[in-house]
Homo-oligomer: A and B are copies of this chain.
Amino acid sequence: LASERRRQRHAGTEEEIKTLARRQMGEQGTASLSLRTIAREMGVTPPALYRYFASRDDLITALILDAYDDLADTMEATRDAAPAETDLVARLFAACMEYRAWALVHPVDYQLIFGNPIPGYSAPSEATQPAARRTLSVFVGMTAEALQRGALALPAAYEVLPGELEERLGGILAGEGYEIPAGALAYVLAVWARMQGLITLELFGHLQPILGDPDVFYRFEIASVLQRADGHPADA
């Protein structure tokens, strides 16, 4: 069908625009995104881009949603790639490694999600929020499974939460249909925040002057937070 060819060409050009946009952001920072520059690089006049995106903001929104989706896809793939009889803690550990690896390979996407907002632009939260939950869900699910099967021991500190926190997290869990205690969710958030802190610091160059290559430290930290039920840290 000829119209199918046309549609694919359209999608291809759309992808090309996004790729150039990402490259531009990678070189100049996420706040630097110029439609005219993209058009120039494509050998096309600026108004041509409006066939593909209604405005600069729409392009940014597309990039952000892509980033969320790509991260979630990657994490789900990592989860599903593990063979059925895998050590569940090892699988969790691998997911944490993959999380950082993704951030290092896709620094622009990572910044679009977790970095400074772009001046004059504000993301439509009704679109980004479900996309954001997907990634967190992978970690919650894997942690829940590891805890239920007894592979992972919930650290003592997370067994009893402050009442206010317990309530709040319990509400979230009920809404999402997870069958884990609130303490476990707190634990997942704690792991997530650790990864986030280390990755953000690394990405913006704050760890390198102290640590050289932050890789060893990251592995060490994740291993230490993922204690096995037998008391041994996860593989590092």
Contact = CB atoms under 8 A, between A and B. Distances in A.
Interface of A: 28-32, 111, 114-120, 129, 132, 136, 155, 157-158, 161-162, 164-165, 168-169, 172, 186, 189-190, 192-198, 200-201, 204, 206-207, 209-212, 216-217, 219-221, 224, 233, 236
B221 A190 contact: yes
Given A32-B119, A220-B161, A210 B194 contact: no
B193 A197 contact: yes
**A-side binding surface: helix, strand, loop or mixed?**
helix
Nearest to A158: B224
A197 B197 CA distance: 3
A97 to B, nearest CB: 15
29 contacts: A28-B119, A29-B116, A29-B117, A29-B119, A31-B31, A31-B119, A32-B119, A111-B116, A114-B206, A115-B115, A115-B116, A116-B204, A129-B209, A132-B206, A136-B210, A158-B224, A161-B220, A162-B216, A162-B236, A165-B217, A165-B220, A168-B211, A172-B210, A190-B221, A193-B194, A194-B194, A196-B200, A196-B201, A197-B200
Pairs of residues from A and B, 4 with the lowest C-beta to C-beta distance, nearest first: A197-B197, A31-B31, A193-B197, A29-B119
Contacts of A194: 190, 193-194, 197
B193 A118 contact: no
Stoichiometry, as copies per complex, reads: 2
A230 to B, nearest CB: 14
A122 to B, nearest CB: 10
Given A186-B220, A206-B114, A120 B201 contact: no
A119 B114 CA distance: 17
Nearest to A24: B119
Contacts of A212: 168
A206 B200 CA distance: 14
A191 to B, nearest CB: 10
B30 A116 contact: yes
A200 B195 CA distance: 12
Given A158-B224, A165-B211, 20 more contacts: A29-B119, A29-B120, A30-B116, A31-B116, A31-B118, A31-B119, A32-B119, A32-B120, A111-B116, A114-B200, A115-B115, A136-B210, A155-B224, A161-B220, A162-B219, A162-B236, A169-B211, A190-B194, A192-B197, A196-B196
